[in-house]
Amino acid sequence: MYDIIIIGMGMSGITSAIYAQRKNLKVLLLDKSMPGGMLNNLDKIANYPGYIDIKGPDLALNLFNQIKALNINYALEEVIDITVNDKVVVKTKNHTYEALDIILATGKKAKPLVIEGEKDYFGRGLSSCAVCDGYFYKDKDVAVVGSNKLAIREALYLSNIVHKLYIITKEKTINDDIKKVENIEVILDDEIVKIKEKDNLIDSVILKSSKTIPVKGIFVYNGFIPNSSLVEKYNITNEAGFVMVDNNYETKIPHLYAIGDVIKKDVYQLVTAAADGAKVINNIIK
Ligand SMILES: Cc1cc2nc3c(=O)[nH]c(=O)nc-3n(C[C@H](O)[C@H](O)[C@H](O)COP(=O)(O)OP(=O)(O)OC[C@H]3O[C@@H](n4cnc5c(N)ncnc54)[C@H](O)[C@@H]3O)c2cc1C
């Protein structure tokens, strides 16, 4: 029996594990993917205190090294079910774990485009992570879908790798500076309605305006959806799926806490994810 099980090894989950371990709590940290979470998808981070400029994967590695240095129990397993009663029961494919308290630190994921067959293209030309996948499109033509801050940031990153980049957005205006980048073409007030493939890979997209744009890759920035399906049954999310917590990061279900990008909050940043992780442990101990 653990004191606390933390689901998610992003900045928020890892910080809470560090604080829990240093308070001598028996803690288990679980992640279905890589330690560092979203950090593994980020290029440069210039606003995290203590680092003038650090790459996301490097900060992820530092966090992982800290977990190992502190001998924190962790396992790379996907949590498929949780039950919270007098005690917490957490199920992965091969194991069942028990704890007194549980912290959901599962972050959020990119929202899909909602085009027919879109799911099939993930890993075959469709991506939401320029840092992870940009290099596969070196000297090729790609599209970035969306014109929010993140889409622009990712487009600028990709423009240094690819041959030509189209920004396709439903919006009618866009920041004029982006138009000055030589290999970027902006297509306003339009959207992708169909993806065409050749040899099992993306070859072009057809827009609502009937234009055909020849691209080998599509990077989608359509917003995010929280990874909160594990707690859907507890009715503790808002209409967008973010987990609702009180000032102690506790949900209305006793012993069930949530932190980081999966919760409803004002600022979704690394520094607030870390702060959530520190504060939740303090509150659980209280
Ligand atoms: C493109 C982009 C750029 C950004 N740039 C910056 C920046 O420059 N500065 C800044 O401060 N912030 C930035 N942010 C925000 C920042 O990355 C996030 O706020 C922060 O990483 C959130 O951390 P987290 O721990 O809440 O979630 P995450 O890092 O998303 O971690 C969640 C973890 O939970 C795991 N998980 C999910 N479901 C399960 C399950 N069922 N079982 C097991 N594990 C599971 C996932 O695998 C993941 O590792 C950026 C975000 C994006 C998308």
pLDDT digits (tens, 9 = 90+) for 112-159: 777 876 777 877 888 888 887 899 999 999 999 999 988 999 999 999
Over residues 220-229, the mean pLDDT reads: 93
**Average pLDDT taken over every residue of the chain:** 94
Choosing from 6, 32, 38 the residue with most ligand 1 atoms within 8 A of its CB, the one to mutate for a pocket test is 38
> In this structure, are 53 and 127 located in the same domain?
no
Among candidate residues 220, 252, 269, the one where a domain is terminated: 220
Q: Which atom of ligand 1 is nearest to the CA of 277?
A: 25
> In this structure, are 255 and 155 located in the same domain?
no
Q: Which atom of ligand 1 is nearest to the CA of 80?
A: 41
Q: Cβ(64) to ligand 1 under 6 A?
A: no
Choosing from 42, 92, 156, 267 the residue with most ligand 1 atoms within 8 A of its CB, the one to mutate for a pocket test is 42
21-47 pLDDT, tens digit each: 999 999 999 999 999 999 998 888 889
Q: Cβ(175) to ligand 1 under 6 A?
A: no
CA of 275 to the centre of ligand 1 (A): 14
172-191 pLDDT, tens digit each: 999 888 989 999 999 999 99
CA 270 – CA 57 distance, rounded (Å): 13
CA of 61 to the centre of ligand 1 (A): 14
> In this structure, are 54 and 122 located in the same domain?
no
> In this structure, are 206 and 240 located in the same domain?
no
> In this structure, are 131 and 69 located in the same domain?
no
Q: Cβ(134) to ligand 1 under 6 A?
A: no
> In this structure, are 22 and 61 located in the same domain?
yes
CA 45 – CA 41 distance, rounded (Å): 11
> In this structure, are 133 and 216 located in the same domain?
yes
Question: What was the pLDDT predicted at 70?
Answer: 97
CA of 264 to the centre of ligand 1 (A): 14
Q: What global pTM score does this model have?
A: 0.87
Among candidate residues 182, 205, 220, the one where a domain is terminated: 220
Over residues 193-210, the mean pLDDT reads: 92
Name the token pair of 186: 């902006």
CA of 209 to the centre of ligand 1 (A): 35
51-103 pLDDT, tens digit each: 998 999 999 999 999 999 999 999 999 999 999 998 999 999 999 999 999 99
| Statement: residue 110 has pLDDT above 90 | no
Range of the domain at 37: 2-109+224-285
| HEC readout, the chain | CEEEEEECCCHHHHHHHHHHHHCCCCEEEECCCCCCHHHHHCCEECCCCCCCCEEHHHHHHHHHHHHHHCCCEEECCCEEEEEECCCEEEEECCCEEEEEEEEECCCEEECCCCCCCHHHHECCCEECCHHHHHHHHCCCEEEEECCCHHHHHHHHHHHCCCCEEEEECCCCCCCHHHHCCCCEEEECCCCEEEEEEECCEEEEEEECCCCEECCCEEEECCCEEECCHHHHHHCCECCCCCECCCCCCECCCCCEEECHHHECCCCCCHHHHHHHHHHHHHHHHC
Protein residue with least CA distance to atom 53, ligand 1: 38
CA of 41 to the centre of ligand 1 (A): 9
Protein residue with least CA distance to atom 47, ligand 1: 33
Question: What was the pLDDT predicted at 112?
Answer: 79
Total domains in the chain come to 2
Give the CATH number of the domain where residue 63 resides.
3.50.50.60
Protein residue with least CA distance to atom 3, ligand 1: 42
Among candidate residues 185, 202, 220, the one where a domain is terminated: 220
> In this structure, are 45 and 175 located in the same domain?
no
Protein residue with least CA distance to atom 35, ligand 1: 8
